[in-house]
Amino acid sequence: MTAYEIPLSAKPQTFSIALGGVTYKMTLRWNGPAAAWMLDIADATGNALVGSIPLVTGVDLLGQYAYLGFTGRLVVQTDHDPDAVPTYDNIGTTGHLYFLTS
């Protein structure tokens, strides 16, 4: 298993990234009422694939979307407490988003 960290910073952002040989456009935004980061994934041209995935720990965030052909798993983990959900301030520093491939 190989882990690739997706570089993030503690602010809403949109960026393009190649994962498993495919380029995706990702949008990360903070949902204040839920106190959670949310992730939208689109193809390289901006066509939405999945939306509003909460960045929670302990699951493959792409697991339920296997039919879309993702070639790896997307997981969230926080330093010193792998089960702690990333906060607004720690995403990209101690809160991490990883793409895992076999």
**What predicted TM-score, i.e. pTM, was given to this entire model?**
0.94
The string of pLDDT tens digits covering residues 22-70 is: 999 999 999 999 999 999 999 999 999 999 999 999 999 999 999 999 9
CB neighbourhood size of 93 (10 A): 13
**What is the distance between the alpha carbons of residues 83 and 94, in angstroms, rounded to a whole number?**
12
Non-local CB neighbours of 51 within 8 Å, separated by 6+ positions: 40, 41
Domain, as residue range, for 41: 2-101
b/e burial code for range 27-56 (CB count within 10 A of at least 16 → b): bbeeeeeeebbbbbbbeeeeeeeeeebebe
For the chain, the domain total comes to 1
The string of pLDDT tens digits covering residues 73-87 is: 999 999 999 899 999
Q: pLDDT band at residue 92, thresholds of 50, 70 and 90?
A: very high
